Amino acid sequence: MDAENWISHMEKIFDVMGCEDAFKTRLTVYKFEGNALAWWKAYKQAKGDDAWLVTVTWADFKKLFFLQFFSRAEQERLKREYHSIRQTNTETSTEFMQRFLRLAGFLEEAAGTEEEQAKNFQWGLR
């Protein structure tokens, strides 16, 4: 499972469980294995272990995660895709909305205010 799908998968679990923000990072890293687990252990230790961990919001964690597991080129590609997004001829409005929300979720603040996002969404509709 790639990094983007991993976060989406975990957020689906959080929705079903009614998971509070404070527990999301802990649950996510519990599921880490291999390189992801090694990265997290080293990063957490460098930041101050559990004392630091309790201060990490889900939004902060996602930023760290994407910076670590998405190359700069991939991050830039996603930004360009978001800012030039258009509904394709074969894409339903629902499919376009899902693609738009996926990209906006990845970009977070870089996607703009709610008003800017709404304009970008409307502009992309055919």
pTM over 0.95: no
Q: What is the pLDDT at residue 88? A: 95
pLDDT tens digits, 38-81: 999 999 899 887 888 888 888 888 888 888 888 888 888 889 99
Taking residue 7's Cβ as centre, other Cβ atoms within 10 Å add up to 20
Taking residue 24's Cβ as centre, other Cβ atoms within 10 Å add up to 21
Residues 21-28: what's their mean pLDDT?
A: 88
Q: Which of 106, 23, 100, 111 is nearest to 65 (CA)?
A: 106
* Mean confidence (pLDDT) of the chain: 88
Q: Taking the CA atoms of 28, 33, 36 and 41 in sequence, report the sign of the dihedral they define.
A: positive
- Residue 1: pLDDT band (50, 70, 90) is low
Helices of type H across 1-126: 3-17, 21-30, 34-47, 49-53, 58-69, 72-83, 93-107, 114-124
pLDDT tens digits, 93-109: 999 999 998 888 878 78
